[in-house]
Amino acid sequence: MRSAELKESLQLMAKQYGYMGTDFESQSSQDALSTPSKKFSSQWEKDVDDVQGTAQELVRIDERISDITAQADVIQNKIRETEVGSSEEEQLTNSYLQLTNERNTLVHRQEYYNIIETIRQTTSEIDDLRRRIDEVTQIADDIPRSNETKTATDRLMEDLSDAMKMKSNLVQKLFATEEEM
Lowest-pLDDT choice from 19-28, 63-72, 129-138, 139-148: 19-28
- 25 located within any domain: no
- 37 located within any domain: no
Task: State the pLDDT at residue 28.
Answer: 43
3-state helix, strand, coil in the chain (%, to 5): 80, 0, 20
For residue 174, what are the contacts with CB-CB under 8 A and spacing of at least 6?
44, 112, 115, 116, 119
Using a cut of 0.85, tell me whether the model's pTM lies above it: no
pLDDT in tens, 4-57: 666 777 777 666 666 655 444 444 444 444 555 666 668 888 888 888 999 999
Task: State the pLDDT at residue 39.
Answer: 62
Q: Bigger pLDDT: 61 or 39?
A: 61
Domain count, the chain: 1
pLDDT in tens, 102-124: 999 999 999 999 999 999 999 99
Domain boundaries, position 95:
43-180
Q: For residues 170 and 140, give the distance between their C-alpha atoms in angstroms, rounded to a whole number.
A: 36
- 69 located within any domain: yes
- 18 located within any domain: no
pLDDT band at residue 141 under the 50/70/90 scheme: low
Task: For residue 41, report the phi and psi dihedrals to the nearest 5 degrees.
Answer: -100, 135
**What radius of gyration, in Å, describes the C-alpha atoms of the chain?**
25
- Report the sign of the C-alpha dihedral through residues 137, 142, 146, 151, in that order: positive
- 148 located within any domain: yes
- 116 located within any domain: yes
142-159 mean pLDDT? 83
Task: State the pLDDT at residue 149.
Answer: 80
